Amino acid sequence: MLRFTEEHEWLKIEGDTAVVGITSHAAEQLGDLVFVELPAVGASFSKGDNAATVESVKAASDVYCPLDGEIVAVNEAITADPSLVNSAPQGDGWFFKLKLKNPADADGLLDDAAYKELVG
């Protein structure tokens, strides 16, 4: 199941774990990324907490935790090569995997159609 936030994060949810990244729209708005800071594995976040940071040639921006949960994996490849986020934001450019505290909370996020309407 794929879900989106109004802050331009995407979640690919499988069971009680979500792979999280930023959307293609967000990557385009940011421009070429030059730095990514990821959360620590084992860190717990609440929905809306700043979980990661990205810097582009234009600006720095926060990546928010889309739901309550614990970080169970991070994508070290994007810290070594931030351009992966630009080239494949919803693929190899994922940020972290989140073990969801309450998977049903994902029902409150945007589906594909609602997100497309948001970015119109």
CA distances 45 to 12, 58, 64, 88, 119, Å, are 18, 27, 9, 25, 26
CB 24 within 8 A of CB 9: no
> Given this model, what pLDDT does residue 28 score?
94
- CATH, residue 54: 2.40.50.100
- Please report how many Cα atoms fall inside a 13 Å half-sphere around the Cα of residue 89, on the Cβ side: 18
Cα four-point dihedral sign 51, 65, 111, 59 = negative
Asked whether residue 23 is assigned to any structural domain, the reply reads yes
> Could you list the residue range(s) of the whole structural domain that residue 60 is in?
2-102
Q: Residue 114 corresponds to which tokens in the numbers above?
A: 């609602």
Asked whether residue 32 is assigned to any structural domain, the reply reads yes
What is the chain's mean pLDDT, rounded?
A: 97
Asked whether residue 68 is assigned to any structural domain, the reply reads yes
Tell me which residue has tokens 């351009």: 83
Which residues partner with 44 through β-bridges? 70
The pTM of this model reads 0.96
> Given this model, what pLDDT does residue 58 score?
86
Asked whether residue 120 is assigned to any structural domain, the reply reads no
Q: What is the pLDDT of residues 41-54, one digit of tens each?
A: 999 999 999 999 99
Asked whether residue 92 is assigned to any structural domain, the reply reads yes
Asked whether residue 58 is assigned to any structural domain, the reply reads yes
Q: What is the pLDDT of residues 56-112, one digit of tens each?
A: 998 899 999 999 999 999 999 999 999 999 999 999 999 999 999 999 999 999 999
Using the predicted structure, report yes or no on whether residue 117 has a pLDDT greater than 90.
Answer: yes
Domain count, the chain: 1
Asked whether residue 117 is assigned to any structural domain, the reply reads no
Asked whether residue 107 is assigned to any structural domain, the reply reads no
